[in-house]
Amino acid sequence: MPEESIENINFDDLNKRAISQPLVTNIYTADPSAHFFNGKIYIYPSHDVDAGEAFDDLGSHFAMEDYHVISMDSIDSEAVDHGVALHVDDVPWAKEQMWAPDANEKDGTYYLFFPAKAHDGIFRIGVATSNSPIGPFKAQQEAIKGSFSIDPAVFKDDDGSYYMYFGGLWGGQLQRWRSGEFNAAQPDSPTAFLPEDNEPALLPYVAKMTDDLLEFSEKPKAIEILDKNGNLLLAGDNNRRFFEAAWLHKYNGKYYFSYSTGDTHFICYAIGDSPYGPFTYGGRILNPVVGWTSHHSVCKVDKKWYLFYHDSSLSKGVTHLRSVKVAEITHREDGSIETLTPYKD
């Protein structure tokens, strides 16, 4: 539900019809990356603030400057905000816009992966580490070499390999990297350098991580998202093509790549046989929420699967003041995922 339609919404009624309620209400949170570590749920969201920036399609009003970690003892228990885990002022290479993060664990060390604009105005992806899943995290001096764009998600495969998925259009700058170098022309345009509608859509990227999870072990590769006929989705296919919010989970031996379609506000998924893809479009996990953005994660807790997502219901539709939520999802016997509608009729 895009911003322009909120004047007609009765938010008291909407919140009664919502399939879930905000997990925390003391702060605004978004883009929840959820993980199940040591029998407990940890959520790594963005921390939304109202910084007074102008609304634009570059996302200037998303002026987040730190990260909090949220934990839950079980899926039904109270969510606890553990306070600031990392602030932009403590990241030497970063200037602003601490957007959607992710985390993972290896050998007792916890890793926070995050995008931020460097001092040259280009988004990079950084890493910070801690001996606790709730932080505080200490950032590396430099961003990951060869990193670009936004929305890192780090998946641990069954063989112990870790892969980072990333990318985002418009303010996420992915379209500025089409030549392999950053194109700084037309800096105020969020849509300059996008493909034509009849051309293949821009693709997200994946890179295997080094053993210490601090760098890429290879040059990032594009992830192909195909239709049922094996053709790449087109740039004009706004209801299905990748926009941002990459995530990967594994179910019954298959790899599920899920993502947001951005300006059409769906969370979609595609299925493949390898962490590198290709992935064949499978359908929608989540229909549009209130607020412009949609961003999620998929996490197995005990024997059930959950979608962690956000909407702008608590702020009564303010696009950059969002709240993290959770709802159970179902994989059908054929491997498809049932589509959730965030508000009952």
Domains observed in the chain = 6-338 (2.115.10.20)
How does residue 1 score in pLDDT terms, banded at 50, 70 and 90?
A: very low
Residue 335: Cβ within 10 Å count? 13
Local structure of 15: helix, strand or coil: helix
329 contact partners, CB below 8 Å, separation of at least 6: 285, 298, 305, 306, 307, 337, 338, 340
- Pair of tokens at residue 293: 């953005």
The closest of 263, 93, 81 to 172, measured between CA atoms, is 263
Q: Are 114 and 123 in contact (CB under 8 A)?
A: no
What would the mean pLDDT of 16-41 be, rounded to a whole number? 98
Amino acid 2: pLDDT: 44
Which neighbouring-strand residues pair with 167?
A: none
Quickly count: other Cβ atoms within 10 Å of residue 10's Cβ: 9
Active-site choice (159, 244, 311, 338)? 244
333 is catalytic: no
Confidence of residue 51 (pLDDT cuts 50, 70, 90): confident
pTM confidence score: 0.97
**Does residue 81 have an active-site annotation?**
no
What pLDDT does residue 5 have?
64
Alpha-helical runs (H) found in the chain = 11-17
Query: Do residues 64 and 98 make contact, with C-beta atoms less than 8 angstroms apart?
Result: yes
Q: How far apart are CA 297 and CA 326, in angstroms?
A: 10
CA R_g for the chain: 18
Among residues 31, 48, 151, 224, the one annotated as catalytic is 31
194-221: average pLDDT: 98
| Joined tokens for residue 86 | 């990392």
The pLDDT confidence band at residue 8, using thresholds 50, 70 and 90, is: confident
| Residue (of 193, 197, 198, 202) closest to 225 by Cα position | 202
- Mean local confidence (pLDDT), 127-144: 98
Task: For the beta carbon of residue 57, count every other beta carbon within 10 angstroms.
Answer: 13
Say whether pLDDT at 6 is over 90: no
pLDDT value at position 64? 97
Could you tell me which residues come within 8 angstroms of residue 59 by beta carbon, excluding any fewer than 6 positions away?
A: 97, 99, 170, 171, 172, 190
Q: Phi and psi of 263, rounded to 5°?
A: -70, -10
Cα separation, 52 vs 315, in Å, equals: 15
Q: How many CB atoms lie within 10 A of CB 56?
A: 12
In sequence order, the β-bridge partners of residue 46 are: 30
Q: What is the pLDDT of residues 225-281, one digit of tens each?
A: 999 999 999 999 999 999 999 999 999 999 999 999 999 999 999 999 999 999 999
Using a 10 angstrom Cβ sphere, with 0-12 exposed, 13-18 middle and 19 or more buried, the burial of residue 342 is: buried
